[in-house]
Amino acid sequence: MSNEQKVAIVTGASQGLGDGIARAFLSRGYRVVGTSRSIKPSDNPNYLAIAGDIGDPATGKQVVEQALARFGRVDTLVNNAGIFVASEFTKYTEQQYRDMLWTNLNGFFYITQPAVEAMLTQGSGHIVQITTTLVDHASSNVPSVLASLTKGGLAAATRSLAIEYASRNIRVNAVSPGIIKTPMHAPETHGALAALHPMKRMGEVADVTQAVLYLEDAGFVTGEILHVDGGQVAGA
């Protein structure tokens, strides 16, 4: 198989946004490496599914190594895996704090390092973080300081990495969603969640995948935090 066909790695790829993003890249003719704790093997020769805990340092290294061994390159990394827990600040538990740092921050760091190394070797690459609009638009209806702490860190890291690697042909961007219809949200909550957006609807997985693909194509865009939130970041 030719190594010229582009390759995307997607974390948290077993369901919801991650599954949608992986499918979007496949539909474009990319080869895709998807990883999550519960991901199932795939019969698609262009899709490599790797089960693992993304917060474990060994997992990120393994995913990049297997991507290179199977497909010969890494063009795009989408850091989608994440945990979201809405809670009053004083009611967060120590375990919730550790879990969110483990997945949201460790899960970014330990796969992005080897991915950047691979991209430097091949001379180009693109990294996309999936954050949350709550980083820039806190809501009294959704207290979530740990999401802001961890995903806000990813937003800052996005800009820092974008500048560090801009001259070496590696772009780094982020998509900052509002509330998206995924298995995370029970159908009976959709009405109340839709009302939190100025556009009075929840986002669809396709809204986020379109944003990721826009950034993939936008060769002069780096360091961008693209809000896909029905107007939340603009105000109430």
Whole-angstrom Cα distance, residue 167 to residue 176?
A: 25
Whole-angstrom Cα distance, residue 74 to residue 9?
A: 7
Domain extent for 217: 7-234
Residue 1 lies in a domain: no
Q: Per residue in 170-200, pLDDT tens? A: 999 999 998 898 877 888 899 888 988 888 8
Query: What's the CATH number where 98 sits?
Result: 3.40.50.720
H helices of the chain, where? 16-27, 57-71, 94-100, 107-122, 145-165, 190-194, 205-217
Q: What kind and span of H or E run contains 31?
A: strand 31-36
Q: Per residue in 7-48, pLDDT tens? A: 999 999 999 999 999 999 999 999 999 999 999 999 999 999
- How confident is the model at residue 236, as a pLDDT? 66
Residue 2 lies in a domain: no
Confidence of residue 2 (pLDDT cuts 50, 70, 90): very low
User: What is the domain count for the chain?
Assistant: 1
Confidence of residue 1 (pLDDT cuts 50, 70, 90): very low
Residue 130 lies in a domain: yes
Q: Which two tokens stand for residue 105?
A: 């921050």
**Residues 150-170: what's their mean pLDDT?**
97
Q: Per residue in 56-100, pLDDT tens? A: 999 999 999 999 999 999 999 999 999 999 899 999 999 999 999
Whole-angstrom Cα distance, residue 130 to residue 110?
A: 16
Q: What kind and span of H or E run contains 228?
A: strand 225-228
Quick check: 55 and 102 in contact, CB under 8 A?
yes
What are the beta bridge partners of residue 47? 32
Residue 91 lies in a domain: yes
Residue 195 lies in a domain: yes
